[in-house]
Amino acid sequence: MTTTEAGGEVSVPSPRGGGGVEVVGSLSPSRAGDFMTCPLLYRFRVIDRLPERPSPAAARGTLVHAVLERLYDLPAGGRTVGAALELLGPQWERLLSAEPELEGLFGDDEAGAAERAEWLAQAERMVERYFTLEDPRRLEPAERELFVETVLDSGLKLRGYIDRVDVAPSGDVRIVDYKTGTAPRADFEARALFQMKFYALVLWRLQGRVPRLLQLMYLGNGEVLRYEPDERDLRATERKVEALWQAIRRAMDSGEWRPRASRLCDWCDHKERCPEFGGTPPPLPAVPVRRPSPADLEGAAEVGAARERDDL
């Protein structure tokens, strides 16, 4: 296994036979989540690659994640609330430099300035709330913003970015994910944990050891969701991921990407194109008569990785 510190990478053949297997496609937790939410949304994002407007909530999530990642660059004793808050300004400037379109999130008038001030105050409260959940001075993460990928026996490549990986002296692994939303109701916890089980599956296939703990930290309301997976969980997750991929391939073959209406439609950038709301999807991209190749889907996965912060 190869790793680097912050923003590192783990990418080796799976112990179960990923080496030498032809890659048939690629899937990340966010794109899997898109298809489960609405197959048409998956099509808009992965097949059509339609642009989406940056949202204040997603930008705030990206900013808070960046601050918490950079916080661990500081010496342990310097990881204080004040030090974390001082990182907000520089990290926001860095994000603006990388994504100039974020400048348009707020208007230039007095109302826009007030909205921006409240947006920043919310980010500050989330950073402060993080310190009520754990003491970063007592932690030394093994990895931050870790890119991982592995190929299953079927040829499906799983990939994604893990916010943080902690490794105990015993070798036990904890996967940590920061969420800037609020904790879900009990009946929605399984969906919230899918992303974490996806990451756990990838690490298990890479390292041959089931992560000991999955930890979701909700900075919107200060709750922590913890789950201890076992092999049965991860085998079930693998079956679910494979089934999702087969459903995606059937949609590719048929050209039928069915919309699935839900309350999330109110926040969808593609509502005006959706048949559920009287819209008409654009024609499918003109390509030779074939399925998208693994290379096509690799590119789409990279686009998907950039949207991981949308999972707030």
69-78 pLDDT per residue, tens: 999 999 999 9
Q: Is residue 127 one of the residues assigned to a domain?
A: yes
Q: What is the mean pLDDT of residues 173-190?
A: 87
Q: Is residue 190 one of the residues assigned to a domain?
A: yes
Say if residue 194 is in the same domain as residue 245. Answer: yes
Report the number of distinct structural domains present in the chain.
2
As a whole number, the mean pLDDT across the chain is: 87
* pLDDT at residue 282, as a whole number: 94
Determine the straight-line distance between the first and last CA of the chain, rounded to whole angstroms: 30
Say if residue 36 is in the same domain as residue 157. Answer: yes
pLDDT above 70 covers what percent of the chain? 85
Q: Please state, in angstroms and as integers, the Cα–Cα distance from residue 72 to each residue in 67, 87, 136, 154, following that order.
A: 9, 11, 8, 38
pTM (predicted TM-score): 0.85
Say if residue 118 is in the same domain as residue 226. Answer: no
Q: What is the mean pLDDT of residues 176-192?
A: 85
Q: Is residue 283 one of the residues assigned to a domain?
A: no
* pLDDT at residue 287, as a whole number: 56
What are the start-end ranges of the E strands in the chain?
9-11, 25-27, 143-151, 156-167, 173-179, 213-218, 223-227
* pLDDT at residue 312, as a whole number: 44
Closest CA to 247 of 29, 49, 42, 28: 42
Say if residue 149 is in the same domain as residue 134. Answer: no
Q: Is residue 274 one of the residues assigned to a domain?
A: no
Q: What is the mean pLDDT of residues 89-117?
A: 93
Q: What is the mean pLDDT of residues 204-211?
A: 96
Question: 164: which strand partners?
Answer: 144, 176
Pairing of strands 213-218, 173-179: parallel
* pLDDT at residue 187, as a whole number: 63
Say if residue 47 is in the same domain as residue 65. Answer: no
pLDDT at 12 over 60: no
Q: Is residue 62 one of the residues assigned to a domain?
A: yes
pLDDT at 238 over 60: yes
Say if residue 115 is in the same domain as residue 202. Answer: no
Q: Give the residue carrying structure tokens 């899997």.
A: 32
Q: Is residue 218 one of the residues assigned to a domain?
A: yes
Say if residue 60 is in the same domain as residue 32. Answer: no
* pLDDT at residue 311, as a whole number: 46
Say if residue 242 is in the same domain as residue 105. Answer: no
* pLDDT at residue 31, as a whole number: 95
CATH code (residue 159):
3.90.320
Domain that holds residue 103: 56-138
Q: Which helix (H) or strand (E) holds 92?
A: helix 81-98
